[in-house]
Chain A
């Protein structure tokens, strides 16, 4: 496959990041941008800009036909979808390949398999990945729902097969509520995803969210270590770190090895992330889902491996073969990522669009900024609130936390409200220092949520 001129089908910090990676490989870039993004920082850095439609994402970044047309019109031979938008749309991946373009991502079949959460769960189980107790695939009209629930145990969750990323989940604490909840969940899943199938899974209280980065070429699959993304608000990750702290050696070995096996069994090509719930009380990890794309938090893995993940992702797609072996991967130190969002923590995290009047980033060794904006940039109300990511590396977790505190204190942003106060407060919590945090920690710690609590 050739990758000489790449269409970057995304915006913001990840578009900037992809453009940089492509540039270093001598690849020309075309940014597919909506009308209001025509003057964005990513647009300034790209070799060319192709306008794909007006502000609403449905008419631009999610408009598959407009994106494909932009690739053809500008003579691109390849397409990088970034994360979000069309990145996990199997039909789009297929259409890109059908047009003779190189798709920088896994096969459409792999995207489809992992996009169906009950099938993904079965694939994981078959590959020896630890899974939570649950129904064997989706519930059918003939299923003995109460009987299955009895073997799963209460509390349990009813999950939509087409859900994911925390969407389409309902908690059931007692058998009396089960059948009515399943019915509601099926109706909701039909309305939200066009697929009414649901499955049952054991509920884990106060779990941590850990994940494994893999990369493959369809035959060989290797891991690039693990991450912890437990610090979330409303299922959205806020702070991530690598490696995942406080994991027993056998648990880490199990999730790393079984993630590779899952990748092998589905002939995985490109970057992927296998997500797990880790229960510190029982010291057990279990499969949640697999994301078939580049993750927002990929830089923490880059910081501890010294690799450029997007470079490797592009090279695997171009050459069809992985150039890395497990022996090439060495892990050093510890890294954190902080997501700086244009939201007002004092006002219930209300989105805060505007113009960035002043922007001052931190510096020093081990400090990295992946930003989609510069001073003077407009933060449009139409898209995700992620402005930039601060990534900090140091030799140990304690040192990385100290360095992060300094770096966060150097950030100065005016013109929009940001989540910086929350990030600083989270980092200072003794529970986070001691790795006693969990995925509901931010939401259940009123001190962290400021005036909204």
Chain B
């Protein structure tokens, strides 16, 4: 299991826009470098990517939830 950590404080979004599909859903196969969400800080958006390939097990932060640096955003089971 590998955690995806937020490097930034801000607001975590699972979708690129309110009417858009989520970047990834629980149970999806994720490639290393794939975007699973974005963190908004002061109106700037930074993509949150997985360092490993595997299955997306869970999100620890809900959509539009607040994150601090070092917080776990999601967990991926490698494979």
Question: Using a CB–CB distance below 8 Å, which chain A residues touch chain B?
Answer: 54-56, 58-59, 191, 342-343, 350-351, 353, 381-385
B43 near A381 with CB under 8 A, answer: no
Shortest Cβ gap from B63 to chain A (Å): 10
CA–CA, A343 and B41, complex, Å: 11
Beta-carbon contact of A381 and B10 below 8 Å: yes
Please state if B64 and A381 are interface contacts (CB–CB under 8 Å). no
Interchain Cβ contacts under 8 Å between A and B, 30 examples: A54-B66, A55-B11, A55-B66, A56-B11, A56-B64, A56-B66, A58-B64, A59-B64, A191-B17, A342-B42, A343-B42, A350-B44, A351-B41, A351-B42, A351-B44, A353-B9, A353-B42, A381-B9, A381-B10, A381-B41, A381-B42, A382-B10, A382-B11, A382-B40, A382-B42, A383-B42, A383-B43, A384-B42, A384-B43, A385-B43
Q: How far is the CA of A51 from the CA of B35 in the complex (A)?
A: 34
Question: Contact string, B46-79, partner A, CB cutoff 8 A, digits 1/0?
Answer: 0000000000000000001010000000000000
4 further interface pairs, Cβ-Cβ under 8 Å (given A55-B66, A353-B42, A381-B42): A56-B11, A56-B66, A191-B17, A381-B8
The CA of A59 and the CA of B17, in the complex, are separated in Å by 15
Decide: A385 and B66 in contact? CB cutoff 8 A: no
Total interface residues on B, CB under 8 Å, equals 12
Minimum CB–CB distance for B20 against chain A, Å = 9
Considering the complex of A and B, which 10 residue pairs feature the smallest CB-CB distances, nearest first?
A351-B42, A381-B9, A385-B42, A381-B10, A381-B41, A351-B41, A56-B11, A56-B64, A351-B44, A353-B9
A contact patch SS: loop
Contacts of B8 in A (CB 8 A): 381
- A244 to B70 Cα, complex, angstroms: 47
**Nearest CB of chain B from residue A7's CB, rounded to whole Å:** 24
User: Which B residues touch A350, using CB under 8 A?
Assistant: 44
Considering the complex, give the chain B residue whose CB is closest to the CB of A194.
B19
Contacts of B17 in A (CB 8 A): 191
Question: A58 to B65, alpha carbons, bound, how many Å?
Answer: 12
